[in-house]
Amino acid sequence: MARAMFDYTKTVLEKVSFDVNLFSKEVEKAFKRLLPHEIEELKIFISRLIQNEPQLASFSL
């Protein structure tokens, strides 16, 4: 079940990556509901997403 939440979170972040404010809010929610090892994996995912999405250039972890 927890892995399903992680996968869902990644999908949501990809879909809201057009807006930095919305993206930030979703990241905050994700950090509250994911397990510690999933948060570390999510940070890697976010770093890669930021590199591919120029509109997220102002976002930082």
In a domain, 29, yes or no: yes
In a domain, 61, yes or no: no
Give pLDDT, residue 61: 81
Sorted by sequence, the CB contacts under 8 Å of residue 27 that are 6+ apart come out as 13, 46, 61
**Domain of residue 11, residue span:** 7-48
Sign of CA dihedral 61, 40, 15, 51: positive
Q: Which of 4, 10, 19, 15 is nearest to 44 (CA)?
A: 10
Q: How many domains does the chain have?
A: 1
Confidence of residue 49 (pLDDT cuts 50, 70, 90): very high
In a domain, 12, yes or no: yes
pLDDT tens readout for residues 2-35:
689 999 999 999 999 999 999 999 999 999 999 9
Give pLDDT, residue 1: 61
